[in-house]
Amino acid sequence: MAKRDFYDILGVPKNASDDDIKKAYRRLAAKHHPDRHQGDDVKKSEEKFKEAKEAYEMLSDPQKRAAYDQHGHAGVDPNAGMGGFGGGGGGSFADAFGDIFGDIFGGAAGARRGGGQQVYRGSDLSYAMEITLEEAAHGKDAQIRIPTWDNCETCKGTGAKPGTSAKTCTTCNGSGTVHIRQGFFSIQQTCPHCQGSGKIIPEPCTTCNGAGKIKRQKTLEVKIPAGINEGMRIRSAGNGEPGTNGGPPGDLYIEIRIKEHDLFERDGDDLHVKVPVPLTTVALGGSIEVPTLGGKAEIELPEGTQHGKTFRLRGKGIKGLRSSYPGDLYCHVSVETPVKLTEHQRKLFKELDESLRKGGDKHSPTAKSWTDRVKDLFK
């Protein structure tokens, strides 16, 4: 299958500047990075990410770009016999790659400190918090306990046994990275011996095992805003995992879970409730009390109210986070059929049934139309 044109992949013209090429690559890499996709989309995103990466590697290097402009893909294929090209011209892929990870994860991945060590932003943490519907509607102040890291008191955060000190890593000479040359490419990666720290600890601290930090629990105050809904997240900046080599910490994301309510069902800003009503009340009409999140309300049922009839109470729902007005409460009438009748009650019902039958269809507003539809079905 023929390879796509590198300029088309990045969506830039052939006379695009180096800065335009870099911006186009950063945008595509951030969009198609596999960490931003799930399920079946991961494979497609990986392919597009690799395709954009290859295009950027070629067009960001002046020598490779010139060869590509003159000879096409054959000019940059080391197996095509076109003489190839020298390495080390652009070398800007690592810079752009670091920028992209900064865009995706908060600006610290791939950065460097003054001493040459790689600096990484800490990972984000997720915390699931379960609250009641009333708490979601009115908001609340809560406390949660999360894992955190404190400097080891024994080694004062150095990771080395007291009386000893860390040594400069001889593999990377303290830079935290090593370069591996593969054909025309020079690949930079984290030093496997010091894990990017630039230092080796000959005698690790026995308290923290050389980590320089101890895992503990800390309590956070969390404000749950009124109107929050299921699945929404609250960001607590800087309360994620700590960074590496002085990198900034990640963030904590508190994901809201709302407990199932005994009475109400939530639909956006609206609430729904089933109201059981005695048969005599729906037949004769009258006032009934219905629950709301703010107390009780009254509904006037007209005579002959049918099962499933819905009554709307404006403004008795929930005022969402981005809403100007609260939603409504929908009360669904559920007619209760009497049970465990006495003989006297059964006699009264039979008399009532006979009387209703004598009255014909006027007492059953839906029965006649339903019977007619059944007859039409079997014609």
3-state secondary structure (DSSP) of residue 141: strand
Residues 242 and 334 in one domain: no
Q: Which of 42-56, 98-112, 217-231, 362-376 has the lowest mean pLDDT?
A: 98-112
- Tell me, what CATH number does 154's domain have? 2.60.260.20
pLDDT tens by residue, 15-55: 888 888 888 888 888 787 766 666 667 678 888 888 888 88
Phi-psi region of 73 (alpha: psi -120 to 50; beta: other; left: phi over 0): alpha
Question: Is 317 exposed, middle or buried, given 0-12, 13-18 or 19+ CB atoms closer than 10 A?
Answer: buried
pLDDT tens by residue, 286-310: 999 999 999 999 999 999 999 999 9
The mean predicted confidence, pLDDT, of the chain is 81
Q: What angle do CA 197, 199, 204 make, to 5 degrees?
A: 105
- Kindly report the length of the chain: 379
Residues 228 and 308 in one domain: no
Highest mean pLDDT among 148-162, 228-242, 297-311, 351-365: 297-311
Residues 53 and 69 in one domain: yes
- Tell me, what CATH number does 87's domain have? 1.10.287.110
What stretch of H or E contains 236? strand 233-236
Residues 223 and 342 in one domain: no
* Nearest in space to 185 (alpha carbons), one of 354, 30, 64, 22: 64
Give the pairing of strands 310-313 and 329-336: antiparallel
247 occurs within a structural domain:
yes
Is residue 93 scored above 50 in pLDDT? no
Residues 281 and 372 in one domain: yes
177 occurs within a structural domain:
no
Residue 50 belongs to what domain range?
6-105
CA-to-CA dists, residue 301 to 19, 264, 278, 356, 365, angstroms? 71, 20, 12, 21, 17
pLDDT tens by residue, 239-264: 888 776 677 888 999 999 999 999 99
Span 217-232, mean pLDDT? 93
Distance CA 177, CA 189 (A): 6
Q: Which of 167-181, 220-234, 346-360 has the lowest mean pLDDT?
A: 167-181
pLDDT band with cut points at 50, 70 and 90 for residue 81: very low
Question: 87 and 213 in contact (C-beta within 8 Å)?
Answer: no
Residues 205 and 270 in one domain: no
Is residue 100 scored above 60 in pLDDT? no
Residues 92 and 29 in one domain: yes
Q: How many domains does the chain have?
A: 3
Residues 129 and 249 in one domain: yes
pLDDT band with cut points at 50, 70 and 90 for residue 285: very high
Span 319-330, mean pLDDT? 93
Residues 138 and 95 in one domain: no
Which DSSP letter does residue 277 get?
E
Of residues 349 and 107, the one with the higher pLDDT is: 349
3-state secondary structure (DSSP) of residue 100: helix
191 occurs within a structural domain:
no
195 occurs within a structural domain:
no
346 occurs within a structural domain:
yes
64 Cβ contact list (under 8 Å, min separation 6): 57, 58, 76, 85, 89, 90
Residues 228 and 309 in one domain: no
Residues 241 and 281 in one domain: no
Residues 234 and 298 in one domain: no
120 occurs within a structural domain:
no
Question: 251 and 240 in contact (C-beta within 8 Å)?
Answer: yes
